[in-house]
Structure 1
């Protein structure tokens, strides 16, 4: 298809009162790969609160959904709105399959993250992030996008695509997002922007970076974009104070997360200790001094165990603007979870039989990771043992300096022999799950191998499930908002 070139301007202002200077009382968590998809974020934004899409591996999910035939045509509509048609047309030509590839057929791979420039990779990342935010914003309201600082090589191109679609907030955790304020400033002006990348074994003073040049990518210099607000996801007042100390690193606010929140969480401070169930033990050193956070003068929200009106009231009493809630939205009907898996999780949780374990070893990222225990998923040791070890998506690969020079990539979830050849230690491979493939499978986009093997799902939730007793069967996102805010939904359009 051919579409006339469209202007790139700042986003159309949101219809919600919150966009006029107010702050949302409720932030929907940006969960997993595609769990917080555009449908969920749009449903939350309709209520006047902040809907958030997950920005992790959107290149993979866009490519695979196009190969599935794009049922409903939503992605093709979003790509048709991309301001430079030549880019989106190349994505369609490469990945779209009319009618879908069919059950059991393997998906075409996408370019893996790396340090060397790769135009095809950048185009896919920019277009994919644009499409997700564009679809989430179609009904107005505030939309944010969540990234992991750990996945540094994806950030510049991904953030630029989201900004082209008018994203209102960028949320970032799993690391120290000290480079992101400058990145967003430069991208808003369409200036070349980059972030430093941590490379294991690099000498002091040796710098590696990855970036994007918006003008070179688009082929023209558009009008400036609105710069989104940055919320840093932190688990300590010390880190919050570190980020707030200078304008160059200061975010626009914080999400202060407790260890019971879903997905990755910060390890305990000090020496790692495990309890009888082999979960990390958190103590007084891990408690956040909210008074010190409030004294920084930036708005903050509390996350992890706050999915109740009492939780919201307590957060506000501590000086917070509100709360971030994830798991309650992950299990609602607009969630991006594969519907069969979502229903299984709900059934088990309502019966009181769902165990969510904070596994200190599951994630290659090195952070403790919440694993929801369901049969036939990667939570089961038997399923884990049956899976051939391989790393073909690679979003959590770690760059390292090769002994012979140059930079290579390794992942403790890849074949053990390969990891050891790359300088990794054998104990680092024990129990590691392929989080990339497992999370993609959790939303129904798992890879099918040529030998017939299908990737099993890896499911993650928060450890606080008490909210389920207050929500109806088959509940939706609006029910979660009503449960938390009642009739006093600030900013509801």
Structure 2
């Protein structure tokens, strides 16, 4: 069994949030890691982002450079042969699809997942000695083994996971560090309690090469309650190396309130005392933890340290910085609205197909606009948030409450589950400039998410860098040489 990072290693005071699809990209994670804090890439849908970067021609050559370091060149060559388009596809041409997630093994899908996660982490770690983590959603179980393995091949220092109960991840990291075949249980709707459904991944069969054992990354479970933290910490097989304890104001998905869902006057979930995590009980577990959601200020960091935390996780401040993966024009629009007080970030209980509340930033021209959402043709062609279910003939099908309602109902779904659902896969991809272009001329509109606490903007420059955020949070003057270096990296990379 591989060992995790040394317990004597200095823990970061700041964990950069792993946001959206590509918002926390390799440029942002690298910039944060170069300051000595933990840079984190989002591991969600990296198969889509790599394939679309390659179809855009990879103008800076970064994707091809990363893939040139992949330990099995034949796999990288197959990915390039399938998706790379010299000079890029036409501006109106649709992107070539990637294989959708499923329970059955699929060689091309697994190779793309491994290669895309490898490339993102490789680029984030390139050129410095800082630490890089990768963030996944537990809800996207069918993608996890191949994605995590790719990140580990590139030397990921941390794996973070939220939006579920990640009981199997510590074991998974142990097995993958030794290149052992793995089976990860997958939740299947309608399955009997004694049915066992898994997604498999076999590193030796894929790589066909003898590789030295990998360094096992530390695992941080993103949780919303001390009760869940205690549950995970109870046994070695489920125990993470630490926790991110997240409140309901954090961006992206948040845990639903405990008990029956109640909505307030604004239509948002109402959280009460049962939803407030006890930091004292979390500290008593003896594992490091970071506080997230409303802690992204120097005072928030001081409060977290006083509560026994190792530090904080901050997301929104980094999402709006220059190294963010957001489409540049959308990022500046978000900044302008946030600074003039007109930005509303709503914790929408229905937007996400996962059923978890999801923060939606109200920006004109995006899927936050009810009219634009109503005009969008319902379809599910990316499928990362599809749910496997048992069909009447006992085979496995896949459905998503954001797909056409009649199709969803034919698959046994409930009509109430379709109300208000947005296609997060397409909307979040469009937010970073990779929106699909349909043959009929329709272009996928973006969907933007952000945290609900934007107090940090009062103390940051109008257009700021990741290094400015770190300096602000730590209460230290920015290192002018470091800032200049980061600015140069942004221009060149």
Range of TM-score over shorter length: over 0.9
1:151-210, CA deviations, whole angstroms, 9 ceiling, x for partnerless residues?
A: 000000000000000000000000000000000000000000121000000011100000
Say yes or no: does 1:341 pair with 2:330.
yes
Match of 1:392 in 2: 381
CA distance in 1, matches of 2:7, 2:151: 17
Match of 2:137 in 1: 148
Match of 1:5 in 2: none
- Structure 1 segment 54-453 matched on structure 2, within 5 A: 54-138=42-126, 139-453=128-442
1:47-103, CA deviations, whole angstroms, 9 ceiling, x for partnerless residues?
A: 000000000000000000000000210000000010110000000000000010021
CA distance in 2, matches of 1:193, 1:148: 18
Match of 1:53 in 2: 41
1:211-265, CA deviations, whole angstroms, 9 ceiling, x for partnerless residues?
A: 2111110002211000000000000000000000000000000000000000000
1:404-449, CA deviations, whole angstroms, 9 ceiling, x for partnerless residues?
A: 2200000000000000000011111011000000000000000000
CA distance in 2, matches of 1:19, 1:357: 39
Deviation (angstroms), 1:19: 9.8
CA RMSD of aligned residues (A): 1.8
Question: Structure 1 residues 10 and 257, CA, compared in 2 at 3 Å: closer, same or farther?
Answer: closer
Deviation (angstroms), 1:359: 0.1
SS in 1 for 2:139: coil
CA distance in 1, matches of 2:160, 2:364: 32
Match of 1:475 in 2: 464
CA distance in 1, matches of 2:354, 2:210: 37
1:433-476, CA deviations, whole angstroms, 9 ceiling, x for partnerless residues?
A: 00000000000000000000000000000000110010001100
CA distance in 2, matches of 1:284, 1:255: 19
Q: Structure 1: give runs of 5+ residues left out of the alignment.
A: 1-8
* TM value normalised by structure 1: 0.95
CA distance in 2, matches of 1:133, 1:237: 30
Match of 1:6 in 2: none
Q: Is the 8 A contact 1:416 1:426 kept in 2?
A: yes
1:346-389, CA deviations, whole angstroms, 9 ceiling, x for partnerless residues?
A: 00000000000000000000000000001110000000011000
Deviation (angstroms), 1:118: 0.2
Deviation (angstroms), 1:41: 0.1
CA distance in 1, matches of 2:371, 2:467: 38
* TM value normalised by structure 2: 0.95
1:29-48, CA deviations, whole angstroms, 9 ceiling, x for partnerless residues?
A: 00000000000000000000
CA distance in 2, matches of 1:121, 1:173: 23
Deviation (angstroms), 1:20: 6.4
Q: Which aligned runs of 4 or more in structure 1 are off by greater than 6 angstroms?
A: none
Q: Structure 2: give runs of 5+ residues left out of the alignment.
A: 483-493
CA distance in 2, matches of 1:140, 1:63: 28
Match of 1:464 in 2: 453
CA distance in 2, matches of 1:448, 1:10: 46
